[in-house]
A and B are shown apart, each in its own frame.
Chain A
């Protein structure tokens, strides 16, 4: 076994250790440790990605002394490596982009607490990505929830308290359903490791035994994680939680936390239930219907919204609808499109949040939409960032959003019965996206009276760097999509 096989375990342990150490450090040092660990974990994840690509296969790493059916395992393939790398990149850029605001929003004595939460969030995301054990996944889902609640609560005002409580209630409902689903599945199969469960499940499917409990378990697992990742009817907590927190938190919550749960759903679909059994179980139709509804209702809510942050948050509801709709198509192409959309949405939504913050600051911190008039001229870089993010969300070529829409439509054409509904929903949702993003982009470039001349002086270099990196990431995802898609395809084929 090569030394690189240790890297997934190293990165999880390293980030947990960083969280523990940060509790004894001052805010400044906690920030340095956090950034250092993030870069190291990114390096380790890149190594894992390169190793699995060169080997052309996944590897299994046994945690502790006990072999397969009893012990705990880590399993890393191409998709896991890619996901971990991407999570680290987005986290670094979100933290850098929101740094100035973080210092203004949060009092100094709390700074290290925030970095404890980010480290915990990173470790739980990595564990959810790498683990091969369902119960470990549950434990880290809960750690992720607690860390996300801490990220929301870092600003202490009435709004965030209410948002955090609503978030916790919905999340706990979701994890309760998820846990009982795991227990029923454990009861049916007698295993907790994903690969062993899948063997038992396929035996059950072949023999036609325990069909109702099996469908029940699949439904509970999917609904539990769908509640936690804010699929349409369960999204009521989302706009408050994203809209009122500090900007780094909003970017990380929208682009990382919900994506971690969605990645877990993908793992459950492929590695616990088995893709064919999942497609036969008809649960996909439910995911499909709610995904399509979310695409449209989320966009309509976003159009009605007057606060730019909440508008972007509602747009997340629509984008998560896209991802679940891809699952609902029940084909390989649909899954590839969904996984690509996870990347595309994460890169774009974080960019939108961070640049919207710059626009709002340039308008005197006002929440009213009308005050944003001309903000794109006052803060040039934020204006460019928002425009590119908006164009990418709408689906203009060269940006990542176009590729995911293209992949979704290609997948829809292969799915006979669902083709028409998917294409219509895609079209409607694209138009609605265009309405609210174009409305905002036109607003930020509208001329105002007694305008100041455009200044290109860079006041906040870190902010500019993070926006530029996000824009580059977006264009890379859009222009070199074939490489990414082939990586995703090989990653998904390793899941089988």
Chain B
């Protein structure tokens, strides 16, 4: 177990960051901190993909100097997945931020639990 962790330190770090982001999204009270947690979580996944998709000493599959052997190139799909993931993450973050703005305009707080208490007082 130990040597594996050291050899694959990139993946281990990615998983630890994923955990940090996940717990932040789940447990933080402040909405902005939750959204930061969301972004940390997504970024950890991209780090994991990038780490898995890159092989030392190889380059992206663009044939520039006539080398066509596959051994010299990396698989481009993980990078493509990262790009797609970033697009999805940006749109979701934008939606969450706009919801947060709506909530702040109405209740003047960023704390979701406080909004629940205010709602109970309003008796809606």
Contacts and interface: CB of A to CB of B under 8 A. Distances in A.
Whether chain B is bound by chain A comes out as yes
B26 A173 contact: yes
B124 A159 contact: yes
A168 B31 CA distance: 12
A162 B116 contact: yes
Nearest to B21: A176
In this complex, which of B49, B100, B107 has the most chain A Cβ atoms within 10 angstroms of its Cβ?
A: B49
Interface in B2-21: 18, 21
Contact of A149 (B41, B78, B95, B122): B95
Contact of A158 (B25, B95, B106): B106
Contacts of A169: 25-26, 34
B88 A164 contact: no
A164 B49 CA distance: 30
Given A169-B25, A169-B34, A173-B26, A159 B119 contact: yes
B118 A183 contact: no
Interface residues of B, number: 37
B111 to A, nearest CB: 11
A187 B78 CA distance: 9
Nearest to B28: A169
A173 B88 CA distance: 14
Interface residues of A, number: 29
Interface string B92-124: 100110011011001100001001101100101
A31 B48 CA distance: 44
A161 B91 CA distance: 18
B119 A183 contact: no
Interface of A: 135, 138-139, 142, 145-146, 149, 153, 156-159, 161-162, 164-166, 168-169, 172-173, 176-177, 179-180, 183, 186-187, 192
Interface of B: 18, 21-22, 25-26, 31, 34, 38, 41-42, 45, 48-49, 52, 77-78, 81, 84-85, 88, 91-92, 95-96, 99-100, 102-103, 106-107, 112, 115-116, 118-119, 122, 124
Given A135-B84, A158-B118, A179-B45, 8 more contacts: A135-B81, A146-B92, A157-B124, A165-B96, A165-B103, A166-B112, A183-B81, A186-B81
